[in-house]
Structure 1
Amino acid sequence: MPDTVSPMITDAVTQTNVKVVAEAPAIAMGSLFQTMAHSTGILFENNVSAAQQQNTLAQAATNQGVMQIYSMDTMAAAGATEKVAQSGTPDQMQSLLAILEAFRPR
């Protein structure tokens, strides 16, 4: 029984090992590129989701503000009208009193 291995077999095994070793960097880079592309995709998905949430919050805040403006509008207008209507009354009364005092006999 011979102890030597046929040179054709050793040559085939050597070539297979060289092929695997030569392809390893390319496969590693391909895997790295796929991972980076996937991570970038998730990054964009998260960015879109955050933008949508910000848009929803902005709409809710705007809606809340408009509701407050509309609910306070009647009370604020009534209060402002009352203040404007009464603001000149003391001045007018003082002026009228001064005029009456001017015509009063002494």
Structure 2
Amino acid sequence: MADAAASVNGQITDSVTQVNTKVVGETPAMAMGNLLMSTSHALSTSAHNATAAQQQGQITMHAATIQGFNSLMSVGGAIAGRTAESIIEKG
């Protein structure tokens, strides 16, 4: 077995060593890239959720405004009807 290990060409061992060094050297960059991608995805999702919540809040406020306006208009009609009724009864 010692002869088999000694018969390996030096270029092969150099090539394997270079590949291993390349992989070890690229690992921090790949990890940082994955971290940045995950962070940007989380931030974009939170921005989308904030926009959706803002839109839903605007719709709710608009509906409340319309409901209040309708209440005011119906009260005004009731008061006008009562006033007209009292005028007719007095006349």
Which amino acid is 2:57 matched to?
A: Q
Note if 1:14 corresponds to 2:17.
yes
69, 72, 80: which is aligned to 1:69? Answer: 72
So what's the TM-score if we normalise by structure 2?
A: 0.79
Which residue identity does 2:44 align to in structure 1? G
Could you tell me which runs of 5 or more consecutive residues in structure 2 were left unpaired when the two chains were aligned. 85-91
In the superposition, the TM-score normalised over structure 1's length comes to 0.69
How many pairs align? 81
Identity fraction in percent: 39
What pairs with 1:1-106 in structure 2 (closer than 5 Å)? 2-3=3-4, 4=6, 5-77=8-80
How far did 1:69 drift? 0.6
Residues 40-82 of structure 1: CA deviation (Å, up to 9, x unaligned): 1111111100000000000000000100110111223555x69
Consecutive unaligned residues in structure 1, runs of 5 or more = 83-106
| Cα root mean square deviation, aligned | 1.9
